[in-house]
Chains A and B, each alone.
Chain A
């Protein structure tokens, strides 16, 4: 590790594909990992110093310690009639349900678009129409049409995730070489076998990448989804805290969302490495 470090610029690792040098074998903690941890520590320090210098009143900029204390308090006593773990699991449940739905629909529609011109003609305009619209804009419609229940909340998050999965699936399939499909067909594959045994495994890395990107959007639409008629959830908690200017709970909510999203992202990366180890090797 240290030997190759002296030979390469500090960016060589992150620009592996671009750099012409040989790949470095990975250690327990990668160079990137170390820099990432250092960045986080630096951010917290900066925050701490800013709060300590009272750049802004403590009401607007609570110190990390105050937020940590709030974490313990909300964990134990709750905020707005629910404990932190209840808020967390309410939101987590919604995001996971929406994600599952988005994967199923995104993959099916992505395949349909590739296999049938008719399906492409139907899906493409609808997708491109709603995709750029902010969730807050169509939230009222969703509530008017689907009520204020759990379904409407999951639907909003689902709509946020769907395009990433769908587009990634579609794009992944487009890049398959004709030879690969022809190889299967000349070995006797039926259309269904081509779809299940060639296209699906081929698209898997793209599907997982789309899922990771979509997950980010999903968490981002959480607050919108929990804006109306929620009694639990991190988005609801943040909204409630913001209304009463409880800044430390707002920051706490943000940090918990970030933590949950990061854990899921790392989990998905692990899944991707396990299920699609050939990625980048083609």
Chain B
């Protein structure tokens, strides 16, 4: 298993124009093998930028991003990505989107469809195999995006608000599914969300970020997700006093970091 690390990274957009944005300011973090790292923070605090860095879509202005000790030079199938805006391929139907990674590896059509069908069943999209992407609801599209990344079976899953468009019930089911898969496959996960409840429930390490400039203001080790994967019911986990206290603390953190940023404006 492999460690993904970010060291003293600064990312500035528009360095060659007058309007430079410091999206990340001296950010360091480590995603240990098998950990579930959640990034939480207001819109524009650099969460997607951080993910792009880890995926290899973006080079830092300064600092380094390493995977397994080697600098990240570009994207790789070791690091699977679920995109904030889907990035599904409209010329492929649902099952071919989900099986796309296997097709790239040369897996025969029958086998890859069988695998894809299994994953689609997991995310609750059975019977949707032949649908066109534009015929899906926003929440269905997000689940296709998750299924696509899962089917390719990467070491690390990088997910950018993968559950943002889901209704409350489906969202909780998907949280549990992702935790299940995480525990079963021992993958590392980097998960971006705006949901405080979701963040506290799922994270083994929770990063609270603040905007302008993008910084990690707190890193909290948590174990509620573990409790769930070790057999506790999600409802029970979330009803514990510790959970509620932690959630309120995190809410305070997010709130005060935002006020801080607004005060700085």
A residues at B contact (CB < 8 Å): 177-180, 182-190, 193, 197-198, 201-202, 204, 276-278, 281-282
Q: How far is the CB of A198 from chain B (nearest CB, A)?
A: 7
Across the interface, which residues of A come within 8 angstroms of B101, CB to CB? Answer: 187-188
**Of A179, A187, A277, the contact of B104 (CB 8 Å cutoff):** A187
Given A179-B83, A180-B87, A184-B100, residue A278 in contact with residue B133 (CB < 8 A): yes
Across the interface, which residues of B come within 8 angstroms of A197, CB to CB? Answer: 100, 103-104
Where chain A touches its partner, the secondary structure class is helix
Contact B91 A202 (CB under 8 A): yes
Q: Give the interface residue-count category, chain B.
A: 20 to 34
Contact A187 B77 (CB under 8 A): yes
The complex places the Cα of A189 from the Cα of B104 at a distance, in Å, of 6
A-contact bits for B135-170, CB 8 A (1 contact / 0 none) = 000000000000010001000000000000000000
A-B CB contacts (within 8 Å), total count? 72
Contact B134 A182 (CB under 8 A): no
Given A186-B75, A193-B104, residue A278 in contact with residue B80 (CB < 8 A): no
The complex places the Cα of A177 from the Cα of B75 at a distance, in Å, of 16
Across the interface, which residues of A come within 8 angstroms of B90, CB to CB? Answer: 278, 281-282
Contact B87 A183 (CB under 8 A): yes
**Of A182, A188, A202, A204, the contact of B77 (CB 8 Å cutoff):** A188
Contact B55 A186 (CB under 8 A): yes
Contact A204 B87 (CB under 8 A): no
- 30 A-B pairs, CB-CB below 8 angstroms? A177-B85, A178-B57, A179-B85, A179-B86, A180-B89, A182-B57, A182-B75, A182-B83, A183-B83, A183-B87, A183-B89, A184-B104, A186-B56, A186-B75, A187-B77, A187-B80, A187-B100, A187-B101, A193-B104, A197-B103, A198-B89, A202-B89, A202-B91, A278-B90, A278-B132, A281-B90, A281-B133, A281-B134, A282-B90, A282-B134
Q: A201's closest neighbor in chain B, by CB?
A: B91
Known: A197-B104, A198-B89. 19 other contacts (CB 8 A): A177-B87, A179-B85, A179-B87, A180-B87, A182-B57, A182-B81, A185-B75, A186-B57, A186-B75, A186-B79, A187-B100, A188-B76, A188-B77, A202-B89, A276-B91, A277-B132, A278-B132, A278-B134, A281-B133
Across the interface, which residues of A come within 8 angstroms of B89, CB to CB? Answer: 180, 183, 198, 201-202
Q: A193's closest neighbor in chain B, by CB?
A: B104
